[in-house]
Amino acid sequence: MMDVVEIQKILPHRFPFLLIDRVIDLEEGKFIDAYKNVSISENVFQGHFPGHPIYPGVMIVEGMAQAGGVLAFKSLSEKDQEDIENKVVYFMSIDNCKFRAPVRPGDRLEYKVTVIKHRGNIWMLKGEAFVDGKLTTEAELKAMIMDK
């Protein structure tokens, strides 16, 4: 398990764009389970949508991508992990993205990201987001770990 302080040691993202609060489970090179608590106090709800707040799909996909980034970084060799502050994950593509159900303030958005394929510094991932066990979003993500 990793808390937000440990996540910030891996990802360069910070408020208001750090979109995972905790890692529940992780198996290097295989999968990650993480979550974000969606709060009405988030700035995005000022405009999306007043009187009918819905967490934007693009933010859900970015949260999946961030969870995938943690998985990729934690799957690096020990030598590469020592140089983590000089690395960054760039997403190359998002395919077959589907939004199944809206996410609202008060929801706990759980990200489940699994490795489809990994070759060198390229990662192909399957991302899914759930609220209360119900699938809200899914996408295939392709990413590359690069030097900054």
Based on the residue annotation, tell me whether 48 is a catalytic residue of this protein.
Answer: yes
The answer to whether 19 and 35 have CB atoms below 8 angstroms apart is no
Sign of CA dihedral 62, 72, 25, 1: negative
pLDDT in tens, 56-111: 999 999 999 999 999 999 998 777 777 778 888 999 999 999 999 999 999 999 99
What is the model's pLDDT at position 86?
A: 84
What is the model's pLDDT at position 113?
A: 98
DSSP states of 26-62: EETTTEEEEEEE--TTSGGGGTS-TTS----HHHHHH
Choosing from 13, 48, 52, 118, which is the catalytic residue?
48
pTM for this predicted structure:
0.95
Give Cα separations from 83 to 5, 9, 121 (angstroms): 18, 12, 14
Give Cα separations from 88 to 4, 144, 145 (angstroms): 18, 8, 6
What is the model's pLDDT at position 111?
A: 98
What is the radius of gyration, based on Cα positions, of the chain?
A: 15
User: What's the mean pLDDT in 5-32?
Assistant: 96
Q: How many Cβ atoms are within 10 Å of 43's Cβ, its own excluded?
A: 9
User: What's the mean pLDDT in 113-134?
Assistant: 97
User: What's the mean pLDDT in 33-55?
Assistant: 96
Q: How many Cβ atoms are within 10 Å of 1's Cβ, its own excluded?
A: 10
Domains of the chain: 4-45+52-147 (3.10.129.10)
